[in-house]
Amino acid sequence: MKYRRILLKLSGEALQNREKGLSIDPEILASISRQFKELIKEGAEIAVVVGGGNIFRGLAGEKGGTDRTTGDSMGMLATCINALALQSALENAGVETRVQTAISMPAVAEPFIRRKAMRHLEKGRVVIFGAGTGNPYFTTDSAAALRASEINADVLMKATKVDGIYTADPVVDPNAVRYDKVSYAEALNKQLKIMDAAAFSLCMENDIPIVVFNFFKDGEILRVFRGEDAGTQVSH
Ligand code: UDP
């Protein structure tokens, strides 16, 4: 086992099924629950930061006439909708969970309390962090980097649609190869787009490795967790 405590960053789009016109697809949630159960069986402590892009993004609100901070509040609330949906699916699958939000809403979830979050993880509960950082002008990538640092996560796993970071765009260049490992410095030099700059520098400063992996390949998260040849790890 390579890691124990993981912080998984799931974008809102990871829950979405455009073909079926669903913002949140119950089948995707069920598949996530199955994979989490396997991870837990192998000893993982799982914390999740969910995005909200499947429902609302602050910038989109700006274009529609909502001011940025209000739009960002709407985006943060959207992440809470996703957090509750994920919680529900996990609990249905028999996984104990807690949702903690950065914007207080005690009627639906716990507020974010670091020590409590750590205690839940130690007890084997999946902790889902909603409402991002609780501040406008940030992203859930930054929230993921922040929470990973706060809970002393061994790794930040960034769920994507691609197998990892490539030397070139694999769609355009047939000779492109996937990096197994890249250093933070190399990622910066080569301007590899992994997370937004604030999130990336927080991970680098706090020495949290980032693994970019294909969330849609069945079993891939387990392979990353075991330290097998999957995804790309960014570290010192
Ligand atoms: N957001 C914010 N502060 C945060 C995290 C998120 O204001 O700390 C808002 C922002 O408007 C963002 C939206 O919530 O567009 C949804 O988050 P994000 O775009 O990161 O979701 P993802 O792309 O991962 O689905």
Q: What is the pLDDT of residues 93-137, one digit of tens each?
A: 999 999 999 999 999 999 999 999 999 999 999 999 999 999 999
- Number of the ligand 1 atom closest to the C-alpha atom of 57: 15
The DSSP element (H or E) to which 96 belongs, if any, is: none
Q: What is the mean pLDDT of residues 191-210?
A: 93
CA of 35 to the centre of ligand 1 (A): 25
52 Cβ closer than 6 Å to some ligand 1 atom: yes
pLDDT digits (tens, 9 = 90+) for 26-82: 999 999 999 999 999 999 999 999 999 999 999 887 788 899 999 999 999 999 999
CA of 202 to the centre of ligand 1 (A): 17
CA-nearest of 76, 79, 88 to 29 is 88
Say what the pLDDT of residue 133 is: 98
List, in order of start, the domains of the chain with CATH numbers.
5-235 (3.40.1160.10)
Q: Which of 54, 55, 140 is the pocket-test mutation for ligand 1 (most atoms within 8 Å of CB)? A: 140
pLDDT digits (tens, 9 = 90+) for 205-225: 999 999 999 999 999 999 999
List CB contacts of 56: < 8 A, sequence separation 6 or more: 71, 74, 75, 77, 78
CA of 73 to the centre of ligand 1 (A): 9
- Number of the ligand 1 atom closest to the C-alpha atom of 137: 7
User: Which is it for strands 232-235 and 210-214: parallel, antiparallel or unpaired?
Assistant: antiparallel
- What is the average pLDDT score of the chain? 95
140 Cβ closer than 6 Å to some ligand 1 atom: yes
- For the four alpha carbons of 70, 72, 75 and 77, in that order, the dihedral sign comes to negative
Q: Which of 23, 68, 72, 77 is the pocket-test mutation for ligand 1 (most atoms within 8 Å of CB)? A: 72
List CB contacts of 20: < 8 A, sequence separation 6 or more: none
- Number of the ligand 1 atom closest to the C-alpha atom of 60: 15
CA-nearest of 230, 4, 216 to 124 is 4
Q: Considering only CA atoms, which residue is closest to atom 21 of ligand 1?
A: 51
How far apart, in whole angstroms, are the C-alpha atoms of residue 206 and residue 184?
12
86 Cβ closer than 6 Å to some ligand 1 atom: no
The number of beta carbons lying within 10 Å of the beta carbon of residue 1 is 10
pTM of the full structure: 0.96
List CB contacts of 34: < 8 A, sequence separation 6 or more: 93
11 Cβ closer than 6 Å to some ligand 1 atom: yes
pLDDT digits (tens, 9 = 90+) for 100-111: 999 999 999 999
How far apart, in whole angstroms, are the C-alpha atoms of residue 101 and residue 94?
22
| Tokens 């922040």 found at | 146
| Positions at the binding site | 9-12, 52-53, 57, 72, 133-140, 160, 166, 169
The DSSP element (H or E) to which 205 belongs, if any, is: helix 197-205
Q: What is the mean pLDDT of residues 159-173?
A: 88
Q: Considering only CA atoms, which residue is closest to atom 22 of ligand 1?
A: 51
The number of beta carbons lying within 10 Å of the beta carbon of residue 62 is 15
How far apart, in whole angstroms, are the C-alpha atoms of residue 136 and residue 133?
8
